[in-house]
Structure 1
Amino acid sequence: MREDDPVPPPASGRGDWGRAIGRWARATLQTTQHSARQELRNAAPPPERLLWQQLRARKLRYKFNRQLPIGPYFADFLCRELNLIIEIDGASHDRSVDYDARREDYSRSRGYPILRFSNADVMENLEGVVSHVQATLAQAHPQSLPSTGGE
């Protein structure tokens, strides 16, 4: 051990370094996701902002969040209680068909149904979009809690 080294090396050569690195990696990933999420929310196009005004603060009875990560992807809007994703597609989605298909397959494989609306639908028929979301929410069932083994 060097004189200026403040922490002695672990006796077994491993110690808690593995756990510490794991915690650091998780914290780094969370910070990166938080930054990306914040960036996506700040750069939200007008249709997303408009629909968010209808979804926020449990206006439709269920809580929605914006730009939440689902694995390596971000959902425009997510209702965790129902595992429901709402996506607003603009012109950029026309150029990323393969990416969108992978993202949709990934989300659906993890139990997240997806409602898709175009920017034009939201801007020109917000009332119809909200009605469609309400009808979907009315048919959805909250995810049941896992059994604890008791009665």
Structure 2
Amino acid sequence: MKFRRQHGIGPYIVDFYCPEKRLVIEIDGDSHYNLDTQVYDRKRDDFMRSLGLQVMRFTNQDILENLGSVLEVVLQSTQPTK
């Protein structure tokens, strides 16, 4: 799978986007833990989903401490359902 980094979709810029799988991946730092940002993130995610995109969010900590598990989750989510 090929991902675009810092890709614009509508009025937003997503961290990673895979056009082939219509998948958006967001990596959230500490700023995403306050209420205002969480409301904004929900609005963003709703917009992406309204376009038929799947949105996955992971924390910086997930990436730094559990990268293998994160990659497995991403890979599983892109497999066709049987």
Aligned Cα root-mean-square deviation (Å): 1.2
The alpha carbon displacement at 1:126 in A equals: 0.6
Correspondence list, 1:59-138, <5 A: 62-95=1-34, 96-138=37-79
Normalising to structure 2: TM-score of the pair? 0.88
- Partner Cα separation in structure 1 for residue 53 and residue 13 of structure 2: 12
The alpha carbon displacement at 1:139 in A equals: 2.9
Unaligned runs of 5+ in 2: none
- Partner Cα separation in structure 2 for residue 139 and residue 75 of structure 1: 24
3-state SS, counterpart of residue 107 of structure 1: helix
3-state SS, counterpart of residue 53 of structure 2: coil
Identity %: 46
Dislocated runs of 4+, deviation >6 Å: none
- Partner Cα separation in structure 2 for residue 82 and residue 126 of structure 1: 20
The size of the alignment, in residue pairs, is 79
3-state SS, counterpart of residue 17 of structure 2: strand
- Partner Cα separation in structure 1 for residue 31 and residue 66 of structure 2: 20
Letter in 1 for 2:6: Q
